[in-house]
């Protein structure tokens, strides 16, 4: 009787989970299929869930109509540099907050963590004024610098580094390691899962930071891919198929990054939750 009930419960939960998965994946599927249709096919009623004929004209138009390839490289450059610097600075700060004792260390850390509660939209105008005063408006540097001050990276890396036994660091000093050697040769290798998870978070956050990119960039050649794709919306009409193709193209790098570093991401989140 118990086995029968457990089988029924397992079947119901499986059906429920598969149904939720289909609902979540359907917009992704529709965007991909829609990018291979003409505008008339996308707007047809009832909708065509399977295109009768694959149409690659939207992707061709993406590269003919605008400097899409340049936008793509701008996005990759900004997101990659931002991820590298956030991981580096976050690891350094996390090491300092977790292993170095100085007056007010906890107060400074919690004060910094309060920054996580401030919505990014609230900081758009102050950041714009600051970037403008530094003569960085309409530069790729303006897209990188504000990301470096996000406290989440420090918070995440501190959770990993604080669990490193002090005896390991003391043994490194006995062996003649200085602070830099201890950090780069002892601390960072142990904190790799956290660094991988933080790199993915930062890359995706930087890639999708549309609001700040819209404020900080005005010239066409310096636009990022998400910002550039949005310009395909015409004044009196909406090119849905073209926008879907742009959306698919914009999501590919994030998908590749996630699949490449998935093991670090999963391990990092689990270990961070346990240590936190």
pLDDT in tens, 49-90: 777 788 888 888 888 878 888 999 999 999 999 999 999 999
State the pTM of this model: 0.80
Q: How far apart are CA 255 and CA 232, in angstroms?
A: 23
Cβ neighbors of 233 (< 8 A, separation 6 or more) are 239, 243
For the cut 80, the answer to whether the pLDDT of residue 93 exceeds it is: yes
Domain edges within the chain = 56-275
Average pLDDT, the chain: 84
The domain at 56-275 falls in which architecture? Answer: Orthogonal Bundle (1.10)
Q: How far is CA 8 from CA 11, 19, 264, in A?
A: 5, 16, 36
Q: How far is CA 90 from CA 14, 160, 171, in A?
A: 40, 11, 24
**pLDDT by residue (tens digit) across 125-165?**
889 999 999 999 999 999 999 888 888 889 888 888 888 88
DSSP category for residue 235: S
For the cut 60, the answer to whether the pLDDT of residue 18 exceeds it is: yes
For the cut 50, the answer to whether the pLDDT of residue 115 exceeds it is: yes
pLDDT of amino acid 116: 80
**Nearest in space to 209 (alpha carbons), one of 113, 111, 127, 112:** 127
For the cut 80, the answer to whether the pLDDT of residue 4 exceeds it is: no
**pLDDT by residue (tens digit) across 174-228?**
888 888 888 888 888 888 888 888 888 899 889 988 889 999 998 989 999 988 8
Q: How many Cα atoms are found within 13 Å in the side-chain-facing hemisphere of 239?
A: 20
């Amino acid at each position: 009787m118990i086995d029968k009930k457990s089988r029924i419960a397992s079947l119901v939960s499986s059906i429920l989970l598969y149904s939720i998965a289909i609902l979540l994946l359907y917009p992704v599927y529709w965007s991909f299929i829609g990018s291979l249709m003409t505008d008339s096919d996308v707007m047809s009623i009832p909708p065509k869930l399977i295109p009768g004929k694959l149409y690659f004209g939207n992707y061709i138009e993406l590269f003919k109509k605008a400097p899409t390839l340049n936008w793509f490289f701008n996005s990759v450059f900004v997101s990659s540099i931002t991820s590298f610097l956030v991981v580096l600075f976050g690891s350094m700060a996390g090491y300092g907050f977790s292993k170095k004792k100085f007056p007010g260390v906890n107060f400074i850390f919690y004060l910094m963590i309060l920054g996580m509660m401030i919505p990014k939209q609230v900081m758009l105008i102050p950041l714009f004024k600051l970037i403008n005063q530094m003569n960085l408006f309409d530069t790729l540097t303006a897209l990188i610098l504000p990301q470096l001050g996000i406290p989440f990276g420090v918070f995440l890396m501190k959770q990993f580094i604080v669990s490193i036994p002090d005896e390991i660091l003391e043994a490194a000093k006995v062996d003649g390691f200085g602070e830099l050697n201890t950090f780069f040769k002892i601390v960072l290798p142990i904190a790799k899962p956290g660094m991988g998870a933080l790199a993915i978070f930062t890359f995706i956050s930087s890639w999708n930071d549309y609001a700040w990119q819209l404020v900080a960039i005005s010239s066409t050649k310096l636009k990022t891919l998400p910002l550039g794709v949005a310009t395909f919306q015409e004044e009196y009409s909406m090119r849905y198929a073209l926008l879907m193709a742009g959306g698919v193209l914009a999501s590919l790098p994030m998908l590749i990054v996630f699949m490449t570093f998935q093991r670090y991401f999963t391990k990092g989140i689990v270990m961070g939750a346990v240590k936190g």
